[in-house]
Amino acid sequence: MRSRAAFAVTLSLLAAVIGGVSALALAKATGWLDSGTRRSVIVQTPALAQAISSATAPEVRPLLGNGFSPARIYRARSAGVVTIDAIYGQTGSGALETQGSGFVVSARGYILTDAHVITTAGASGGGRAIPAQQVFVEFEDGDRVPATVVGWDIYDDVGLIKVDPHAHRLAPVPLGQSAQVNVGDPVAAIGSPFGNVDSLTVGVVSATRRSIDSLTSRYSLVDAIQTDAPINHGNSGGPLFDARGRVIGINAQIRSDTGAAAGVGFAVPIDSAKRSMLQLISAGRVSYAYIGIETEDLIPSVAKQLGYPVRQGAVITIVHGHSPGAAAGLHAGSNPVEVLGTEFIRGGDVIVSIAGHRVGSAADIVRLVTEDLSPGQSVPLTFVRGDQRHQVTIRLGERPASPR
């Protein structure tokens, strides 16, 4: 009898971790500049495009046609979806074991999954993520082979493992582009809910560009894909396919009051996972740019009521000490007021542009810093203080494990 891990943390909303972790909390997404987790779009430089092509399986083509056939997707892609067992400690009755899903992305043996499937990231009590001591991959035909942990990204909840490409026939699945996903697009999820391997569920994309609390870090994950395709425990790390059989996301969370599927699931966008995977393959770790501020949205109606000279932007509510934002002299607000039925922190600088890109919301800051910028880079930042517009140059740091 396998011992399954179950961890529970209660916050304002209950979010089920779909792998071996039973439930964690989802709360309203914040506007951390250092928060969030990366992007929905990877900047496709020639070097990056070549790296993605060599790391994955470009020879696997999308399915033909414009119709949505779950049966066809299952027939074509299920062989590339695997069940992952992660064991912490020695095997036996006292061992802690978690189970999730994953999918083969390369003939070289690379398999993508969630970080919380192969590490302790997200377990109650916090602390650093500890990888499983043993990882086993079970294929569609029931065969089982060992795998090694290549690395993980706690910010985007992405994990990468590798099997010997000669140990079993591999059927890599093609990766799509989550930036091109639209609300209403049909999707199919394949995974091992509750240990029921090779299970198929279908639905639609309910929303895109969602900003949600990460299950595995203290930052927010931006550009998550929301779907009503039923996702349950054990689906974590499995692929979310579009109508042409391309992976557009990694199933990661559900929002539920009971811990069961309730029609609100979330997937890590595959564009984010690609970036994580390439960093893990090349460097064994991921790095994110960091400014060290928290922000909230400035919307037109609030701007008008409070007399702001701009209609939209990101208002700074906290500047962390000894951060790039503090060094640049950015100011945080300290005057809470009630506006239109919600609390708003006024008095902080309103960021309207970073590195030449317009900022219209707190999520835009997260997106720009994590998608387009790198640690050590110096970029211009434009903000409004009072009635004056200012520009400073900020040298970006590297995101710490916890906000400071």
- Per-residue confidence in pLDDT tens, the chain, 404 aa: 333 333 333 222 333 333 443 222 222 222 233 333 333 233 334 454 555 556 666 668 888 877 899 999 999 999 999 999 999 976 566 678 889 999 999 999 999 999 999 999 877 545 588 999 999 999 999 999 999 999 999 999 999 999 999 999 999 999 999 999 999 999 999 999 888 888 999 999 999 998 888 888 888 888 999 999 988 888 999 999 999 999 999 999 877 655 555 568 999 999 999 999 999 999 999 999 999 999 999 999 999 999 999 999 999 999 999 999 999 999 999 999 999 999 999 999 999 999 999 999 999 999 899 888 999 999 999 999 999 999 999 999 999 877 65
pLDDT score for 52: 55
d(CA 73, CA 192) in angstroms, rounded, equals 16
Other CB atoms closer than 10 Å to residue 103's CB: what's the count?
26
d(CA 233, CA 252) in angstroms, rounded, equals 10
The residue with tokens 């026939």 is 169
pLDDT score for 26: 25
161, with CB counted inside 10 A (0-12, 13-18, 19+), is buried
3-state secondary structure 187-222: EEEEECHHHCCCEEEEEEEEEEEEEEECCCCCCEEE
Residue 282, both tokens: 């090349």
pLDDT, tens digit (0-9, with 9 covering 90-100), for 260-300 = 555 689 999 999 999 999 999 999 999 999 999 999 999 99
347, with CB counted inside 10 A (0-12, 13-18, 19+), is middle
pLDDT, tens digit (0-9, with 9 covering 90-100), for 168-211 = 999 999 999 999 999 999 999 999 988 888 899 999 999 999 88
Phi-psi region of 178 (alpha: psi -120 to 50; beta: other; left: phi over 0): alpha
Buried b (16+ CB within 10 A) or exposed e, 104-140: bbbebbbbbbbbbbbbbbbbeeeeebebbebbbbbbe
Please list, in sequence order, all residues whose beta carbon lies within 8 angstroms of the beta carbon of residue 188, skipping any fewer than 6 positions away: 70, 73, 74, 200, 201, 202, 229, 240, 241
pLDDT score for 28: 27
d(CA 118, CA 204) in angstroms, rounded, equals 28
pLDDT score for 222: 85
The Cα-based distances of 292 to 149, 351, 402 in angstroms read 30, 13, 11
Other CB atoms closer than 10 Å to residue 64's CB: what's the count?
9
43, with CB counted inside 10 A (0-12, 13-18, 19+), is exposed
pLDDT, tens digit (0-9, with 9 covering 90-100), for 199-208 = 999 999 999 9
pLDDT score for 123: 77
pLDDT score for 193: 84
Residues tagged active-site:
116, 157, 236
Using CA of residue 160, residue 221, residue 48, residue 53, what is the dihedral sign? positive
β-pairing verdict for 350-354 and 388-395:
unpaired
3-state secondary structure the chain: CCCECCCECCCCCEEEECCCCCEEECCECCEECCCCCCCCCCCCCHHHHHHHHHHCCCCCCCCCCCCCCHHHHHHHHHHHEEEEEEEECCCCCCCEEEEEEEEECCCCCEEEECHHHHECCCCCCCCCCCECCEEEEECCCCCEEEEEEEEEECCCCEEEEECCCCCCCCCCCCECCHHHCCCCCEEEEEECHHHCCCEEEEEEEEEEEEEEECCCCCCEEEEEEEECCCCCCCCCCCEEECCCCCEEEEEEEEECCCCCCCCCEEEEEHHHHHHHHHHHHHHCCCCCEECCEEEEEECHHHHHHHCCCCCCEEEEEEECCCCHHHHCCCCCCCEEEEECCEEEEECCCEEEEECCEECCCHHHHHHHHHHHCCCCCEEEEEEEECCEEEEEEEECEECCCCCC
d(CA 93, CA 11) in angstroms, rounded, equals 32
pLDDT score for 261: 54
Amino acid at 365: I
